[in-house]
Amino acid sequence: MSMAGFPGLFWGSMMGFASFIPFVGTALIWMPASIYLALTGDWQWGLFLAIWGVVVVGSIDNFLRPLLMQGSSGMSTLLLFFSLLGGIQLFGLIGLIYGPIIFAVTLVLFNLYETEFAGFLDKQDKQ
């Protein structure tokens, strides 16, 4: 965005925070910026920013980031998103780390409980 004349550090940070919203997060930043550029007469930069946002930023935000953040944890992207939001709300900025960790540990504990007490749970279900 700094190539198009916008303050790169500020709007890059805004896009970073907006990227936590699945599918439309970064588009909330670059789409109005490209429309603004097109309406103020810099239609070349507006077109460039729109193409860059769709091709590069959109592919990274919607395809690469969920694959990298999901990893081998088995957590879906939606659950990861909600754990990030909950962590931020409860712990602040450090919640970006704490939220997914606490959620992953909770999932592990539920799986351990289910494995250890499978016989007991089956017996309770039959009663």
pLDDT value of position 74: 66
Of all residues in the chain, what percent carry a pLDDT higher than 90? 6
Contact assessment for residue 19 and residue 8, using Cβ atoms and an 8 Å cutoff: no
Q: Given a cut of 70, is residue 66 above it in pLDDT?
A: no
Q: Is the pLDDT of residue 32 over 80?
A: yes
For residue 78, pLDDT over 70 is answered with: yes
The answer to whether 87 and 96 are in contact (CB under 8 A) is yes
Query: With 70 as the cut, is the pLDDT of residue 65 above it?
Result: no
Residue 21: CB atoms within 10 A of its CB come to 14
**What's the whole-model pTM score?**
0.50
pLDDT the model gives residue 89: 92
User: What is the Cα–Cα distance from 45 to 5, expressed in whole angstroms?
Assistant: 9
Q: Where are the domains of the chain?
A: 1-70, 73-127
Question: Residues 65-85: what's their mean pLDDT?
Answer: 72
User: What gap in Å lies between CA 50 and CA 18, rounded to an integer?
Assistant: 17
More confident site: 73 or 115: 115
pLDDT of 19: 74
Do the Cβ atoms of 2 and 8 come closer than 8 Å?
A: yes
Residue 2 has pLDDT above 70, yes or no: no
Q: Which residue has the higher pLDDT, 62 or 118?
A: 118
Return the pLDDT at 4.
Answer: 67
* Residue 69: per-residue pLDDT: 63
